[in-house]
A and B are shown apart, each in its own frame.
Chain A
Amino acid sequence: MAEPVLAVRNLVKRFGGLVATDDLTLEVRPGELHALIGPNGAGKTTAIGQICGEIAPDSGSIRFDGADITGLSFAQRVRRGLSRTFQIVQLLDDDTALENVSLAVQAAEGHSFRFWRNARLDRRLTDRARALLAQVGLPEERARVRASDLSHGERKQLELAIALAPGPKLLLLDEPMAGLGAAESLRMTEVLRALKGRIPMLLVEHDMDAVFALADRVSVLVYGRCIASGLPEAIRADPAVREAYLTEEDGH
């Protein structure tokens, strides 16, 4: 089997007495969409934080694209092709949707110590940014709207377009469906389905319809520990998973 794109080995993170990540081992293989599920407080966001480099693990290692990246900063990991979206959208709110994506395209093109040309009129940046917005399904007429004036669903789409700008080798998606209405959620599922196979993805999601519609493999996180990992059907049938997670979800 080909080497995994992302290999998390024996990751541990403690916050005081709380073990948020407990000996977590996880792999994302080339081309697959790997879903990471688990009840609230299972440590999914903490795990994503360590994989992207915002949180330093206490021990364990992270290999990405054939190299150990455990010691690299968030920005350095992004430059190596590890891109993420946030559970709570992080955008440049004073800038338009197009400017948000253009800046990400600019960042992917190399250093920005260029002081002279007007970046907003640079077709190399804006053309690519428009293409990315189209790819995530944000309508053309919304490109010139300030990020803070976009709807929640549009902001989620915009953040995905930004994450795609560097041409990532892996996408970390932290609850892309959170807070979306049924129609928006369906649209996001379709966008991700279109990306599937081209870019490997690690998807953290509570929306089980989306998870089972999209995932090639599923890992289940409970109290910071991975209790099961496998094909969606196997996960759905696993008694330990039903015990820890799915039954609780049904109870709502």
Chain B
Amino acid sequence: MRERIVLAALLAAAVALPWIAEALGTPATVGVATRIAIYAIAAASLNLILGYGGLVSFGHAAYFGLGGYTVGILWEHFRLNEPFLGIIPGTAELLVTFPAAILVGGLAAAAIGALSLRTSGVQFIMITLAFAQMVYFLFVSLAVYGGDDGLMIRRPNAFLGLNLRDPATMYWLSLAVLVFWLWLMGRVVRSRFGRVLEGVRQSERRMAAIGISTYPYKLAAFAIAGAACAAAGALWANYARFVSPDMMHWTKSGELMIMVILGGLGTLLGPVLGAAALVGLEYTLSGITEHWQFVLGPILVAIVLFARKGLMSLFGRWGPGNG
């Protein structure tokens, strides 16, 4: 009961943030909070396979980029008024681009997962990285969509008459998607499917011994995670009004992993904390020194060494399983 009250208070504070920022005269905070919310969605999606399923995917940024490029490419064809591949008309409607991004991310993850999940351990880490690099270089070489330079999106998508160029509106939209995704994930990880996933993390051998062939479950989780990460990418494209291959660079995959591990593997709110900590630290530390990563490194090491469940262990009983 007390947990629910605290969660409701946290949510209320998050919703009120743009007004608070305005009152305090720090409007830039809204942009930082938007970045945190978007990265939190991406990190939470990685947490489903990494934290709950124990699948160390080192190519998760690929789906973030694919989601962003879905919005970007549909915008580009809308702008030029010529259909994608000669058949799919471009669009700048979020109600179309957002589901399209989710679909693209889910399908790509299903295809990549179908091959990668035939391996395990270090091979799995390397093969997911390799696929992500393939997608990265594909977009680097796609000159039609800006190649290395990326793609400008002059106008954010239209969405129910809202103005997504307004920072507060964009923030509330990202927050709403984050809350919805966390709620959905909270149900999934407690369901029968989620129990199987947690079993996969703990002992594949035990799962076989109770008669469960784990491959289809891992593949489904991988596809769901890819779809959700693409949703985050679609939001990013609208927030930054720019997409580039950097979105799917391997260092971005690493950042997402850091957020999950930093926040707390296999906890519902851990990735949100991790995203907030990483984006927040980057924002504050980079204001002090350009070598901010030099400071960030030891902080990460300390947390990984001393807190098994990351930042979530600071919250005692809300840690593992109760988040």
Are B205 and A112 neighbours in the complex by a CB distance under 8 Å? no
Report A71-101 CB contacts with B as 1/0, cut-off 8 Å.
Answer: 0011110110001101000111111000100
Which residues of the other chain, A, contact B194 by a CB distance below 8 angstroms?
115, 119
Are B213 and A73 neighbours in the complex by a CB distance under 8 Å? yes
Are B190 and A120 neighbours in the complex by a CB distance under 8 Å? yes
Number of interface residues of B (CB under 8 A): 25
Q: Which residue of B lies closest to A85 (CB)?
A: B209
Report A143-171 CB contacts with B as 1/0, cut-off 8 Å.
Answer: 00000000000000000001101100000
A78: contacting residue among B190, B193, B208, CB under 8 A: B208
Are A119 and B192 neighbours in the complex by a CB distance under 8 Å? yes
A116 within 8 A of B: yes
B96 within 8 A of A: no
CB distance from B114 to the nearest CB of A (A): 17
A246 within 8 A of B: no
Interchain CA distance A148-B14 in the complex, whole Å: 39
Are B198 and A92 neighbours in the complex by a CB distance under 8 Å? yes
A107 within 8 A of B: yes
Report B179-216 CB contacts with A as 1/0, cut-off 8 Å.
Answer: 00000000110111111101100110111111111001
CB distance from B228 to the nearest CB of A (A): 13
B210: contacting residue among A93, A95, A119, A162, CB under 8 A: A162
B217 within 8 A of A: yes
Interchain CA distance A93-B202 in the complex, whole Å: 7
Are B191 and A116 neighbours in the complex by a CB distance under 8 Å? yes
A252 within 8 A of B: no
Interchain CA distance A83-B209 in the complex, whole Å: 7
Which residues of the other chain, A, contact B199 by a CB distance below 8 angstroms?
92, 95, 103
B220 within 8 A of A: yes
Are A115 and B211 neighbours in the complex by a CB distance under 8 Å? no
Q: Which residue of B lies closest to A78 (CB)?
A: B211
Are A106 and B192 neighbours in the complex by a CB distance under 8 Å? yes
A123 within 8 A of B: no
Are B203 and A75 neighbours in the complex by a CB distance under 8 Å? no
Which residues of the other chain, B, contact A114 by a CB distance below 8 angstroms?
191-193
Interchain CA distance A154-B258 in the complex, whole Å: 38
Report B221-252 CB contacts with A as 1/0, cut-off 8 Å.
Answer: 00000000000000000000000000000000
Are B206 and A90 neighbours in the complex by a CB distance under 8 Å? yes
Are B193 and A113 neighbours in the complex by a CB distance under 8 Å? yes
Which residues of the other chain, A, contact B193 by a CB distance below 8 angstroms?
112-115
A104 within 8 A of B: yes
Interchain CA distance A78-B217 in the complex, whole Å: 18
Q: Which residue of A lies closest to B213 (CB)?
A: A75
Tell me whether A95 and B198 are in contact in the complex, defined as CB-CB below 8 angstroms, given that A74-B209, A90-B206, A107-B210 are known contacts.
yes
Q: Which residue of A lies closest to B194 (CB)?
A: A119
Tell me whether A76 and B213 are in contact in the complex, defined as CB-CB below 8 angstroms, given that A112-B193, A116-B187, A119-B192 are known contacts.
yes
Tell me whether A73 and B208 are in contact in the complex, defined as CB-CB below 8 angstroms, given that A112-B192, A118-B191, A119-B195 are known contacts.
yes
Interchain CA distance A116-B185 in the complex, whole Å: 10
CB distance from A92 to the nearest CB of B (A): 4
* A102, A108, A114, A165: most-surrounded residue (chain B CB, <10 A): A114
Tell me whether A104 and B191 are in contact in the complex, defined as CB-CB below 8 angstroms, given that A91-B203, A93-B202, A94-B202 are known contacts.
no
Interchain CA distance A113-B193 in the complex, whole Å: 5
Q: Which residue of B lies closest to A89 (CB)?
A: B206
Interchain CA distance A93-B223 in the complex, whole Å: 27
Interchain CA distance A117-B196 in the complex, whole Å: 14
Are B213 and A107 neighbours in the complex by a CB distance under 8 Å? no
Which residues of the other chain, A, contact B191 by a CB distance below 8 angstroms?
114-119
Which residues of the other chain, A, contact B210 by a CB distance below 8 angstroms?
78, 103-104, 107-108, 162, 165-166
Are A91 and B195 neighbours in the complex by a CB distance under 8 Å? no
Interchain CA distance A120-B211 in the complex, whole Å: 19
Which residues of the other chain, B, contact A122 by a CB distance below 8 angstroms?
192
Interchain CA distance A165-B212 in the complex, whole Å: 13
Tell me whether A112 and B195 are in contact in the complex, defined as CB-CB below 8 angstroms, given that A73-B213, A78-B208, A166-B211 are known contacts.
yes
A90: contacting residue among B192, B209, B212, CB under 8 A: B209
Interchain CA distance A116-B212 in the complex, whole Å: 19
Interchain CA distance A90-B216 in the complex, whole Å: 22
Are B211 and A117 neighbours in the complex by a CB distance under 8 Å? no
A residues at B contact (CB < 8 Å): 52, 54, 73-76, 78-79, 83-84, 86, 90-95, 99, 102-104, 106-108, 112-120, 122, 162-163, 165-166
| 6 A–B contacts, CB within 8 A, in A order | A73-B213, A78-B208, A113-B193, A113-B220, A117-B191, A119-B195
- Contacts A95-B198, A102-B195 known; list 16 others, CB within 8 Å: A54-B208, A84-B209, A90-B209, A92-B202, A103-B196, A106-B195, A107-B210, A112-B192, A112-B196, A112-B217, A113-B193, A115-B193, A119-B191, A162-B209, A162-B210, A163-B209
